[in-house]
Amino acid sequence: MLKTAVLVSGGGTNLQALLDAQKAGMFPHTEIALVVASKPGVFALERAAKAGVPGCVVARKAYAAPEDYDAALLETLRAHGIDVVVLAGFLSILGKAVIEAYPDRILNVHPSLIPSFCGAGYYGLKVHEAALARGVKVTGATVHLVNEIPDGGLL
């Protein structure tokens, strides 16, 4: 059974969809074993607790250097024996150390159909605002593997 961590930054609607899918038996070879929030007080942590999944905060703002944040995040993931990482509404860019520690084992849920509205600066509501401003009639989400290029991993 692969142990999965879901990284979040807000309300956790994507997390809830994953928790519901797990409960429905849609992930027979993995379990959501940890939810990590990038800031305290997010509703996603309440969703995790309600589902009986441990949650913790590794606050991005608590670290001056991105490398220090990555080190703290890696320490947390390793302490919980995490095999796979899912970014579900996670608004921080992961650094090289995290990406190299989990090669082809980090998935991102991006709120647009890549290659539209992706890359540095396109996250959260900014993606939807850009799509509306452009007059897009059809939109969706993309799940992709994470690499060192923001939203540049394999689809």
Catalytic residue positions, numbered: 110
3-state SS, the chain, equals: CEEEEEEECCCCHHHHHHHHHHHCCCCCCEEEEEEEECCCCCHHHHHHHHCCCCEEECCHHHCCCHHHHHHHHHHHHHHCCCCEEEEECCCCCCCHHHHHHCCCCEEEEECCCCCCCCCCCCCCHHHHHHHHHHCCCCCCCEEEECCCCCCCCCC
Which residue, among 15, 119, 121, has the nearest Cα to 6 in the 3D structure? 15
Give bridge partners of residue 4 from the DSSP assignment.
Answer: 32, 84
